Amino acid sequence: MKISFESFKNIKDIKTSNLVIFFSEEKVKEFAKGIETSNCKNGECPIKQSIKEFDFKGKYLEISLVGSKLGNFNKLILIGLGKEKDLDKTKAEAIGFKAFKYLNSNKLKEANFLFNIMLEKNGDIKFDTDLELYSGMIFGFSMAQYNFNKYFTGEKLKAKENKIEEITFITNDIKQLKTAYNENEIIKENVFFCRDLINEPANIIYPASCAETCKEMEKFGVEVEILKEKDLKKLGMGSMLAVGQGSDQESHLVVLKWYGNPKSKEAPLAFIGKGVTFDSGGLSLKPSNAMDTMKCDMSGSAVVAGLIRLLAMRKAKVNAIGILSLVENVPSGKSMKVGDIVKSMSGQTIEIMNTDAEGRMILADAIYYAVSKFNPQIVIDLATLTGAICVALGDKYAGLFTNNDDLSNELINAGSKVGEELWRMPLSEIGGFYDRQIDSDFADVRNTGRTKDAGAITAAQFLQRFTNNHSKWAHLDIAATAYLEQEGFLTQKYGSGYGVRLLNQLIKDNYEK
Ligand code: BES
Ligand code: ZN
Ligand code: ZN
């Protein structure tokens, strides 16, 4: 899709077959009064007339398409922004997303966009455009381009392809809008990178191939270290290794290092992602209907990869470590068994009560590795960890578990800004009510709670035991938000990329020089 920015002075200068105008309710009222004169032909004024004919009010997400030959345009598309006081960046993004879907499904190849403008009597365009809102709308528009078509062929592929070819955004400040656009494009590219990793099936993305994909980040200045099973053994990662031991795929731990602020004396930030490239449940085998989406069980790792790639591409002045713990959880004669006891890198022993509670086992070693090796300022892990979080929150919020109120606020605020919402869940101290549920009769800790109750919380409690008492740790349970069954905010269904923008915003707002 070709994108350009133009600065037309008068509405008559615009040469396009499809003109898209975004209007607030206030601007619609002004137009309806009859401000438009120069744009009229034979007494017909296209904008005013279509407002009237379609009873267009400019309500939030309202769309009218006028398919007449009025004015210079074949089609005039009016899109409502709602009341100006209610409009914010997130809403503008949602409008852009919807605009793309609308134009695309109407097979419009080309269009020019005007954002909340007025006209002088002579047709001069009066721009009353808030740059943040306009670029937010453009970002939403751009985010809607995502599709995962690569495995379609022939006619089916053709039908799935985007139809829009060329868009021109009209503005009186090309430079600023272009700058914002270019910054947002980097974000978009990495959310799409993350989505692709999630949507790829498990025969394509498995631990070794995922590590190889990460290796390509070196071209952006990321240091990529890949630890294989013999390295993990040396480190004593008996918990992570147990999960992968039934698989023919070798487990990998990928360490991504982005040192964008090399002079800083502060410790780096650490982000750790669950990377189960396929979760069959292992010997505690999942039923088929619960297994069919389990290629998505490496979403946490995909988010971490997308985040570090994004930080590097935008040259963020921050030092950040990304850790991907990559394994495949399948049954075989070599698989871990229920009742097995393994020793984690932290020295704590784990009794395996359910081989399907594998995410926490790989994270236990990855989190401990991160805190003991890098002594990070903050530690954040992301994981499609429990079905229980889906039951509790649906896909509106991801579950947030943290031992630090400041970090909690920072994360929740960053999430709200980008429409990736978090809901804080309870977490006990070690020895507290929820923590006691994972005490084992045979080992230091068991990998499931004693009952099915509070499944997302007991999973978080398990992770906390491997943080080595780090005082700024957060766990994001993204089981519901990472892979959607229906379209969400700025995202098609399936791999959403939830978390990339959230963590990027967290860093921008709190940890970047
Ligand atoms: N990968 C699953 C959790 C999951 C469920 C992710 C649905 C995405 C969508 C995880 O490894 C798992 O199987 N958890 C078990 C834990 C239980 C055995 C204690 C669960 O939630 O049922
Ligand atoms: Zn599982
Ligand atoms: Zn899992």
Backbone phi, psi, residue 300, to 5°: -60, -45
Q: Which of 293, 360, 385 to mutate to test the pocket of ligand 1 (most atoms within 8 A of CB)?
A: 385
**Across residues 112-124, what is the average pLDDT?**
90
Mutate to test the pocket of ligand 1, among 351, 353, 386 (most ligand atoms within 8 A of CB): 386
Q: Specify the pLDDT at position 340.
A: 99
Residues with CB under 6 A from ligand 1: 279, 297, 354, 356-359, 384-388, 390, 448, 455, 479
Give the residue with greater pLDDT, 124 vs 427. Answer: 427
* Number of domains comprising the chain: 2
Q: Is the pLDDT of residue 122 over 90?
A: no
Residue whose CA lies nearest to ligand 1 atom number 5: 387
Q: CA 343: distance to chain centroid?
A: 34
Distance CA 264, CA 50 (A): 58
Kindly state whether residue 184 falls inside one of the protein's structural domains: no
The pLDDT, as a whole number, for residue 53 is 81
The verdict on residue 181 lying in a domain is no
139 alpha carbon – ligand 2 mean position (Å): 35
CA quadruple 169, 172, 174, 178: dihedral, nearest 10: -60
In tens, the pLDDT along 214-264 reads 999 999 999 999 999 999 999 999 999 999 999 999 999 999 999 999 999
Q: Which of 142, 172, 202 is the last residue of a domain?
A: 172
Distance 116 CA to ligand 3 centre (A): 46
Range in 110-119, 182-191, 375-384, 410-419 with the lowest mean pLDDT: 110-119
Q: Do 202 and 340 fall within a single domain?
A: yes
Over residues 15-21, mean pLDDT: 93
CATH assignment at residue 499: 3.40.630.10
**Domain edge (last residue) among 147, 172, 197:** 172
Classify residue 177: in a domain, yes or no.
no
**Which atom belonging to ligand 1 lies closest to the Cα atom of 449?**
19
Is-above-0.95 flag for pTM? Answer: yes
183 assigned to some structural domain: no
List, by residue number, the catalytic residues: 286, 360
Residue nearest to atom 13 of ligand 1 (CA): 356
Residue 353 sits in the same domain as residue 405 = yes
Whole-number Cα distances in Å, 160 to 48, 146, 155, 419, 438:
36, 11, 9, 27, 48
Residue closest via CA to ligand 1's atom 3 equals 386
Residues 140 and 38 in one domain: yes
Q: What is the pLDDT of residues 425-438, one digit of tens each?
A: 999 999 999 999 99
- Above 80 in pLDDT, residue 323? yes
Task: Check pLDDT > 60 for residue 75.
Answer: yes
Report residue 129's pLDDT band, with 50, 70 and 90 as the boundaries.
confident
List the structure tokens of 237.
């990662």
- Give residue-wise pLDDT tens across range 255-280: 999 999 999 999 999 999 999 999 99
- Whether residues 202 and 165 share a domain: the answer is no
Selected residue with higher pLDDT from 472 and 41: 472
Both 218 and 144 in one domain: the answer is: no
Of 105, 139, 172, the last residue of a domain is 172
Indicate the pLDDT class of residue 497, thresholds 50, 70 and 90: very high
pLDDT for position 70: 57
Planar angle of CA 94, 95, 100, nearest 5 degrees: 100
Same domain, 155 and 232: no
Q: For residue 327, which phi and psi values (nearest 5 degrees)?
A: -145, 165
With beta carbons less than 8 A apart as the criterion, state whether 256 and 323 touch.
yes
349-408 pLDDT, tens digit per residue, is: 999 999 999 999 999 999 999 999 999 999 999 999 999 999 999 999 999 999 999 999
Q: Could you say which ligand is closest to the alpha carbon of residue 282?
A: 2
State whether 312 and 355 are in the same domain.
yes
Do 128 and 236 share a domain, yes or no?
no
Ligand 1 center–CA 483 separation, angstroms:
13
> Residue 377 is part of which domain span?
189-510
Is 57 a member of any domain? yes
Same domain membership, residue 455 and residue 403: yes
* 155 Cα: distance to centroid of ligand 2 (angstroms): 37
Q: Which residue from 338, 356, 437, 451 has its CB within 8 A of the most atoms of ligand 1, so it is best to mutate?
A: 356
Q: Which ligand is nearest to the CA of 296?
A: 1
* Residue 413 reports pLDDT greater than 80: yes
Q: Is residue 179 part of a domain?
A: no
Is there a domain that residue 396 lies in? yes
Q: Residue 467 C-alpha to ligand 3 middle, in angstroms?
A: 20
Helix (H, G, I), strand (E, B) or coil at 425: coil
Q: Is the dihedral of CA 364, 370, 372, 373 positive or negative?
A: positive
Pair (165, 195) in one structural domain? no
**Tell me, what's the pLDDT at 71?**
63
User: Atom of ligand 1 at shortest distance to CA of 279?
Assistant: 1
Closest-approaching ligand to the CA atom of 456: 1
Q: Is residue 322 domain-resident?
A: yes
Q: Both 465 and 329 in a single domain?
A: yes
The reply to whether 70 and 211 lie within a common domain is no
**CA–CA dist 392, 390 (Å, integer):** 5
Residue, of 67 and 477, whose pLDDT is higher: 477
- Of the listed ligands, the closest to the CA of 483 is 1
Q: State the closest ligand 1 atom to the C-alpha of 448, by its place in the atom list counted from 1.
A: 19
Q: In this structure, what CATH number is given to the domain that contains residue 116?
A: 3.40.220.10
